[in-house]
Structure formats: C-alpha cells, structure tokens
Structure 1
C-alpha cells in the first residue's frame, strides 16, 4: 500500500500571515502615523499579497480595528482578584498601559472616520468597541455573582468607564494615566457600595390595658 505524502497544514501559515499583517499595521502606524497607512504598504510590510489582504479585510479601517482588538486582548488581561475594586484597578491600569502613542493615534483616527461615516461607525462598534465592553462586562458579571453590585448596574458602569476614557482621549479633557484608573475604580466602588438600610429602633411597649 503506497503511503501518500502528508499534506501541509494550511491554517498555521494563515495564522502567521494574519499576525504579520496586524504587526505590520501597528509598526507602520508608529512610523508614519495613521495617514501613512495604506493597504499596499501593509501588504508589502507583512509579506502577503494585496489579494490576500483584501480577502481578509475589505478596508483599511477593518485592518486597523483587527489590530486594535488583538492589541487589547494581548495587552489587557482580565484580572480575578476576588473583589471588584481590585479587578477594576488592575484592568484600568492595564488599559492605560496599552494606550501608547500609536494606539491613541489610531483610536482617534477611527473615531474621526466614524463621526462622518455611519458604515465605519458600525464597524467600530461591532468589531472593536463590543470586544472591549465585553471584557469589562466580564469583570462586572463576576462582581454581580459575588453580590457586590446589582445586575442592572453593569451596562451603565461600562458606559461610565469608556465614556470617560473616550472623552479624555478625543478631547484631551484630563489625562489618561494610572491616577485616572485608580480614581475611576474608586468612584465605581463608591457608587456601587452596598448599603444596608439603617436598623429601625424597637417600638416602645404598648401601655397596659
């Protein structure tokens, strides 16, 4: 019985090419800024054909968003300290650490594009923002399971955190640093602190008949 030669797996090669594209996107953005990015330059730096690049990502914005998602997943781990204050502080500090100069420029660029193009806004929401909101939501869901916060608080708290972050990122209203991370974690802890109602004093005894 003749043995057939083993087929080379195609998936690892595709994963290597995908990683090369995302790395090339961040590297080119660091060198030339978002304006210096083009599909041709990304393909050339990554060593893939333009046809392959367009097959995976039909537009430059989608490549940038994929790179941002990958960067966030790698750079911002999900802590599990056993308490909401500890988890929030660690998560938000990691978020700030991942927000380097290149990342900030790319995020501002996609926000600007989303402001004038609804299709881009939909992509930013569905391909990037949803992943970051889900990550923070996981921490808040754990807090719900531990009884630290009510379930109905999770969505407003995600809005609170990322609304503050994007407000500062885009308009420069305040710094984005570890102090912001710590103060935001402290504020959320104070907002969501479970307070038991004060204990009512015992009623006086009824007078005898």
Structure 2
C-alpha cells in the first residue's frame, strides 16, 4: 500500500506548490464555504479571496471538492487525531467526544458535513471522500477500538465496524439535521 493511500493525500505532479499560497487557498475555501455554502462556492471566489490566480488553483486542484478535502484532511489530523499506541475504553470515549466537537463546532467539521451532503448527489465526490478521508480514518478507528479491547477482544470485524457506525452515525445525524445533542 502506498503512503498516499494511508495518509489520505493525493499524489502531486509538477512543481512544488508555495505553502503560503496553499494555506491561503485552503483557508479561503473554508471561509467562503461557511459564508456562502457549498453550492455558491466557486474557484473564482476562492482565488480572489486567497490572492492567487485561478490558474494556480487549477494547477493543484481539479475541483473545489479536492480543495475542501485537502483542508479537511489537514484539519482532522490536527484537531482530531486517532490515538496511537496503548488505549483504554476511556480513550475511545474521549476520541468520540472530540469527534462530536469537531463535527459540531469546528470549521473543518462544517466542511466535512458539506462534503457528506454533496457526496449524496455526486458519485465522484463520494468516491474521493471515501478513498481519501473516510476509509483511511476508519482503518485507524478500527485499530483504536481493537487496541482498547472493544466490543470484546477477538470480536468479528463487523462488530467493530458496528460500534464505530453507532457512534459516528449518531453524531453525524445530529450534525446533518442540526438536531440538539441530548
């Protein structure tokens, strides 16, 4: 398995991108998404707000989905890392509480919800979201659950996935429907 598939990053071609410009584009996309929503987010607006040429964006990202995914992956690694090493049940509970806060309170969580919503109508976006973000994260979450001995040591992989689905599904349902957390 290549390192790109485990980290969720896309392979790059061509010259290295200027890191300041990259960050400006990611921040502009997040800000504009929050301000105008996914449907009104355009490459032109991102370029204008980031202070870069539209051509610069298209050189590195084929679509606004890819820009948002890069920002989401970076934000999740920073604000929602999946714990490594030895863990206990309390660490799993703390992780899912951080996941809830990430989705409900942080800008990157809003990007995640926007991409989930868009993926319902765009098969290519759904594939990118799964392959670059959801699948690699799910693999690390499985390891977290298994290292904590949940649901039971030696349980079938389907039981581990069901536990993750229950926790993540409830959080996402509330976030996507804007239902109050009880």
Task: Kindly indicate whether residue 161 of structure 2 is the aligned counterpart of residue 143 of structure 1.
Answer: no
What is the TM-score of this pair, normalised by structure 1?
A: 0.65
Alpha-carbon distance in structure 1 between the residues aligned to 2:154 and 2:175: 29
> 2:73 matched to 1:69?
yes
Partners of 1:80 and 1:87 within 8 A in 2: no
Paired residues, what number?
165
Q: TM-score when scaled to structure 2?
A: 0.73
Q: Pairwise mapping of residues 48-197 of structure 1 onto structure 2 (< 5 A)?
A: 48-79=52-83, 82-99=86-103, 100=105, 102-144=107-149, 149-150=153-154, 152=156, 153-172=159-178, 175=181
For structure 1, the 5+ residue unaligned runs are 1-9, 180-209
Distance in 2, matches of 1:80 and 1:128, equals: 18
Which has more radius of gyration? 1
Give the distance between the partners of 1:147 and 1:135, measured in 2 at CA.
16
Distance in 2 of aligned mates of 1:151 and 1:16:
46
Shift of 1:73: 0.9
Alpha-carbon distance in 2 for matches of 1:151, 1:20: 45
Quick one: distance in 2 between partners of 1:121 and 1:78? 22
Q: Distance in 2 between matches of 1:96 and 1:160?
A: 13
Unpaired segments ≥5 residues, structure 2: 1-14
Q: CA deviation at 1:159?
A: 2.4
Go from structure 1 to structure 2 and tell me whether the alpha carbon gap of 1:115 and 1:80 turns closer, same or farther (over 3 Å shift).
closer
Shift of 1:82: 4.2
| Superposition deviation, residue 91 in structure 1 | 0.9
Structure number with the bigger relative contact order (C-alpha 8 A, sep ≥ 6) is 2
Look up the match of 2:33: 29
Deviations, residues 21-66 of structure 1 (Å, cap 9, x unaligned): 2122112223333344211121222233222211222111121122
